[in-house]
Structure 1
Amino acid sequence: MCGRFAITLPADAMAQLFAAQPANNLPRVPDYNACPTNPVHVVQAGGAGRQLVSMRWGFLPHWYKSESAGPLLINARAETISEKPAFAAAARERRCLIPATGFYEWTKSEAGARLPWFIYRSDAAPIAFAAVWQSWGDADPVKTCAIVTTAANQGLSGIHHRMPLILEPGDWGKWLGEEGHGAARLMQPGAEGVLDYHRVDPAVNSNRAEGPELIEPFGEEDIPRGQLI
């Protein structure tokens, strides 16, 4: 799964990377602790080309009467996304990308303490999460999104059994629907060796924590096998 991430790329650099026109109301960057329900940067495609916009991280199906009317849907499982009523239409018609520098996952120590890890591309390039979006509400519509996840590849399985679906640049157009059908074939665990990780300060366990020190290496890096959360 993916429950927190960091984005340190400036908005103009994101726009250039994805060949997208930036909106005027983008979230602040850098953000070392992007959390569910917060606004995040999203790349979507349309008749006017790619747009870099702000969306609420936390997908709201059209039948929700309020933002808290049901479960907080921050992730959508690739294996069932086309079958779930909340996500099926979005998976067909409203796919998007969420830029990130890296994301966090947690294991547990033998004493039960939550141990955070920061996961990032080995080549230090920005990450592009596959995602879906939904416009929610009638009077003042809010654009909302969820990150698509897959089973973890072997390299990350010692930290968590799920991982975000990470797309390579050559697949961005296919996922965004710019190159016809075939996006479903992209929904599989990423190639081995693309990602790296290290332990980070438990300060990030708080959703109020912020600052570049959150992604810096911290403490021992031995993975406590069998203690995954």
Structure 2
Amino acid sequence: MCGRFAITLPTDAMAQLFAAQPANDLPKVPDYNVCPTRPVHAVQMGDAGRQLVAMRWGFLPQWYKSETAGPLLINARAETIAEKPAFAAAARTRRCLIPATGFYEWTKSGEGARLPWYIHRSDAAPIAFAAVWQSWGDADPVKTCAIVTTAANQGLSAIHHRMPLILEPGDWGKWLGEAGHGAARLMQPGPEGVLDFHRVDPAVNANRAAGPELIEPFGEDDIPRGQLI
């Protein structure tokens, strides 16, 4: 899954990277602790091409009467996204990309303490999560989104059995729908050797934690090193 991530890329750099027109109400960056229900940066297709816009992280199906009317849908499983009533229409026609610098996952110590790990590209390039979006509400519609996840590849499975669907630049156009059909074929675990990970300070366990120290190496890695994800 993906339940927390970091984005440090400046807004103008994100717009340039994705060749997208930026909106005026984008979240502030850097943010080292992006949490569910907060606004995130998202790249979607508009009438004039790619747009960089703000979306609420937490997909709200149209039948939700309020933001808390059902489960908090921050992730959508690639294996079932086309069948789930909440996501099926969005998977066909409302796909987007969510930029990130890295994301967090957790393991447990022998005593049951939650140990956070920061996962990032080994080449230090930005990450593009595959996602889907939905406009929710009648009076003042808000765009909401969920990150697509797949089974973890071999390297990341040492930390978690799921991982976000990460797309390479050559696949962005296909996912957004501007390069024809074939998005379904992209929903596979990422290749080995693209990501790396390290332990970070348990301070990130708190939603209000902030600052660049959250992604710095911390303590001893108790998962064998020497492997890239």
TM-score by length of 2: 0.97
User: Is 1:122 the counterpart of 2:161 in the alignment?
Assistant: no
Q: Distance in 2 between matches of 1:36 and 1:222?
A: 28
Match of 1:59 in 2: 59
Paired residue for 1:197? 197
The C-alpha deviation readout for 1:103-143, integer Å capped at 9, x for no partner, is 00000000000000000000000000000000000000010
- In 2, Cα distance between equivalents of 1:155 and 1:11: 31
Task: Give deviations 1:192-221, integer Å, cap 9, x for gaps.
Answer: 000000000000000000000000000011
Q: Taking every aligned residue pair, what percent have the same amino acid on both sides?
A: 89
Alpha-carbon shift at residue 180 of structure 1 (Å): 1.1
Deviation by residue 1:17-45 (Cα, 9 ceiling, x = unmatched) = 00000000000000000000000000001
Shift of 1:223: 2.1
Q: Which amino acid aligns with 2:18?
A: F
Q: Structure 2 regions of 5+ residues with no counterpart?
A: 225-229
Residue 28 of structure 1 corresponds to: 28
Cα offset, 1:46, TM superposition: 2.2
Structure 2 counterpart of 1:220: 220
Equivalent position amino acid for 1:200 in 2? V
Q: Identify the residue that residue 144 of structure 2 maps to in structure 1.
A: 144
How many residue pairs get matched? 224
What do you get for the CA RMSD once the two structures are aligned?
A: 0.7
- Which residue number corresponds to residue 76 of structure 1? 76
Q: Which amino acid aligns with 1:80?
A: T
1-structure distance, mates of 2:223, 2:61: 37
- Structure 2 distance, partners of 1:106, 1:54, is 27
Q: Which secondary structure state, in structure 2, belongs to the residue aligned with residue 157 of structure 1?
A: helix
Look up the match of 2:106. 106
Give the match's secondary structure for 2:158: coil
Unaligned runs of 5+ in 1: 225-229
Deviant stretches of 4+, over 2 Å = none
1:150 and 1:46 map into 2 onto residues whose CA distance is 27
Cα distance in 2 for residues equivalent to 1:6 and 1:176: 22
Q: Provide the TM-score with structure 1 as the length reference.
A: 0.97
Query: Could you list the per-position Cα deviations for residues 74-105 of structure 1 after superposition, in whole angstroms to 9, with x for gaps in the alignment?
Result: 00000000000000000000000000000000
Q: Tell me which residue corresponds to 1:227.
A: none
